Structure 1
Amino acid sequence: MTIRLDHIIVPATDKKTSAEFLAGVLGLEVGPQYGPFLPVRTGNGVTLDFMDSDDFRAQHCAFLVSDEEFDAIFARVRESGAHYYAHPDGSGPGEINTRDGGRGVYFDDPGGHAMEILTVPYGGGSQAAPPVDEHR
């Protein structure tokens, strides 16, 4: 069996707001609540399970996207009014980066997490993801 990430729990002060924000900018849907979680499933089957919490450290989630998806997502990030910036330290406000010959941008979700979209993985290389096993 190939080991793959299945889900990650993302704590939030308001799971509904955070899940809807991320799903909205990425062009995804919020799934039905499962226990205390609101899931947002990505194209490779990984879910970000948002959970209400009053005490957590901000996390970082990066999403590898195509050039076309980048354009659409970045437009929705700007329309949302979210703070966005070129570098992980928060520098380059209002800018994107062109690291490794691709494009990338960081943006803050309503709960304070740093989200990122990028068109080329760090270090360059192929954007192609391995096929998803639909029979898991």
Structure 2
Amino acid sequence: MSATFNHTIIAATDREESARFYCELIEATPAQSWGPFSNIVLHDGVMLQFAEPPVTIQMQHYAFLVDDELFDRALARLKEHHTDYWADPQLQRLGETNTEHGGRGFYVKDPAGHGLELITQPYF
């Protein structure tokens, strides 16, 4: 059996707020939470666990491959909530999307300041 990605822990300033943000943005499913974790599950079964570490949070980057329909719904939700998003990782093209790699994409910050990227075509 080859390795498959199973779960990761994402540092959050408010674990429940972050879990809700991801569930709404990428239409993930809330999962049973335990201990210091608020958990969600992606469509492919990968679990994201949000925790509030007792340290300064370093920004991380998480990219999600989505279909065009989810991309449009996520973008509409950001606009509805007046949430800033950008076409580029340098955060210079505010309120725009990109057409890199034959698809569409945008970047947004989660409640803890992590950079999320939604793309409709993989880079490879």
What is the TM-score with the length of structure 1 in the denominator? 0.84
Displacement of 1:32 after TM fit?
A: 2.1
SS at 2:64 equivalent: strand
Structure 2 counterpart of 1:62, one-letter code:
A
| 1:19-58 superposed matches below 5 A | 19-53=19-53, 54-58=55-59
SS at 2:29 equivalent: coil
Displacement of 1:81 after TM fit?
A: 2.4
SS at 1:84 equivalent: coil
Displacement of 1:30 after TM fit?
A: 2.1
Q: Tell me how far apart the structure 2 counterparts of residues 68 and 85 of structure 1 sit (CA, whole Å).
A: 19
* Structure 2 contact 29–42 (Cα < 8 Å) conserved: no
* Structure 1 contact 82–109 (Cα < 8 Å) conserved: no
Q: Tell me how far apart the structure 1 counterparts of residues 50 and 18 of structure 2 sit (CA, whole Å).
A: 7
Residue equivalent to 1:8: 8
Q: Tell me how far apart the structure 1 counterparts of residues 80 and 113 of structure 2 sit (CA, whole Å).
A: 18
| 1:102-113 superposed matches below 5 A | 102-113=103-114
Q: Tell me how far apart the structure 1 counterparts of residues 45 and 35 of structure 2 sit (CA, whole Å).
A: 19
| 1:68-107 superposed matches below 5 A | 68-107=69-108
Percent of aligned pairs with the same amino acid: 40
Displacement of 1:40 after TM fit?
A: 1.6
Q: Tell me how far apart the structure 2 counterparts of residues 101 and 89 of structure 1 sit (CA, whole Å).
A: 20
Runs of 4+ off more than 6 Å:
none
Structure 2 counterpart of 1:13, one-letter code:
T
Displacement of 1:18 after TM fit?
A: 0.8
Unpaired runs of 5+ residues, structure 2, are: none
Displacement of 1:80 after TM fit?
A: 2.5
Unpaired runs of 5+ residues, structure 1, are: 124-136
Q: Tell me how far apart the structure 2 counterparts of residues 72 and 22 of structure 1 sit (CA, whole Å).
A: 13
Measured against aligned partners, the alpha-carbon deviations of 1:26-52 in whole angstroms (never above 9, x if no partner) come to 122322212211112111111111001
Structure 1 counterpart of 2:57, one-letter code:
F
Q: Which range moved further: 63-72 or 31-40?
A: 31-40
Q: Tell me how far apart the structure 2 counterparts of residues 62 and 45 of structure 1 sit (CA, whole Å).
A: 16
Displacement of 1:75 after TM fit?
A: 0.9
Higher relative contact order at CA 8 Å, sep ≥6: structure 1 or structure 2? 2
